[in-house]
Structure 1
């Protein structure tokens, strides 16, 4: 069984740079986990009115309610089978800000139908977003978000575009520097830019059987609704 990104992208996956193909092949079949470390050159926010929303999200490790430059950064991509038996890969990002570390947590599974990735955000998976990954002509990876849904107990609603955020992630590989480059930008269709960061990092691959899933990496609550 291939990785969730290879299955979602189909033949398009083979157009990625080889370094990106390996990184996004992390899964139970590959037996590899990927741990990255580097620096985010900039973490930014939009206008002042977004700060309360970022602070609320930050309480559940969704987005980062701080700005900064030259911030040490780690990302942990570890595959595991969740409590519903789905292959899942963590995308846990930790930003070592001067005020203390901040996390931006996501866990990803293959969406029903297999044509996209389902991204559960935060410690309790209250938010779920459809992700549509594509390979760019230069071999980089472009990920755009689609529909967002909010789940809490019996509540299961689609987040209106007016208050939601459209995410765009671009990841590439710089062969000269031997580093992955990443740029994340979240915008609102009415209010403009909300949040983003950009920087670079290197990675190490680990045998997932020996590494395992460390304490605190999995979400507190897992959501079955897609």
Structure 2
């Protein structure tokens, strides 16, 4: 049983069957998929220095675009202390630049949150709250956030909403991610579709 099954408990069975397969993630077996982001939008132009720094840490990036090819790779492995961790590796192939968005996830079974360590090195941290919709989609929302060990004030947070589903007619996974700040507005948004490949 991987971290998402442990976290969601009985709600895991309410996910669309394809999402259950995707998030079962057997130990040391990768889920690999390719797809296209119909749209990717970053934030304001004046924030470019922040985006370039974040891109160096394989986190956010300054590019926007349409119909951007991408790949995603998720791998679950055991840490030395026996805790399970899932590595997320997302790669976006812009015409002039390849960008990355990495994360490492474990769970806090007491607080019932996913502990999300963003980037490489992982300087950003966020609590993630997982929920299942009536239609069987997965919705993820961010909570407490830190930079290093310092708590980020709420007015500086990048508030995250993710919705992942499966389109039975097109036989593709769907993904929509929106990151915004109460003062700065949109920090990043992307939406697209993907299909699994051989690991």
**Which bin holds the TM-score, normalised by the shorter protein?**
over 0.9
Which residue of the partner structure matches residue 219 of structure 1? Answer: none
C-alpha separation between the residues in 2 aligned to 1:204 and 1:113?
A: 35
| 1:1-226 superposed matches below 5 A | 2-28=1-27, 32-111=29-108, 113=110, 115-151=112-148, 156-204=149-197, 206=199
Q: Is the 8 A contact 1:7 1:114 kept in 2?
A: no
Q: 1:27 to 1:109 in 2, by over 3 A?
A: farther
Give the deviation of 1:84 after TM superposition.
4.5
Deviation track 1:18-51 (CA, whole Å, cap 9, x = no partner) reads: 00011011142xx532001010111102222332
Q: Structure 1: where are the runs of 5+ without partners?
A: 207-226
Deviation track 1:60-85 (CA, whole Å, cap 9, x = no partner) reads 00112211111110000011123544
Question: Alpha-carbon deviations, 1:157-185, whole Å to 9, x = none?
Answer: 11111112001111000011110000000
Q: What is the CA distance between 1:109 and its match in structure 2?
A: 0.8
CA drift of 1:149 comes to 1.2
Higher strand share: 2
CA distance in 1, matches of 2:79, 2:85: 6
Question: Deviations along 1:80-108, whole A, 9 cap, x unmatched?
Answer: 12354421111110001111211000111
Query: Measured at CA, do residues 112 and 159 of structure 1 come closer, stay the same or move farther in structure 2, by a change above 3 Å?
Result: farther
Q: Do the aligned partners of 2:142 and 2:161 also contact (CA within 8 Å) in 1?
A: yes
Normalising by structure 2, we get a TM-score of 0.94
Q: Which deviates more, 45-54 or 165-174?
A: 45-54
Query: Where does the alignment leave 5 or more consecutive residues of structure 2 unmatched?
Result: none
* TM-superposed deviation, 1:205: 5.4
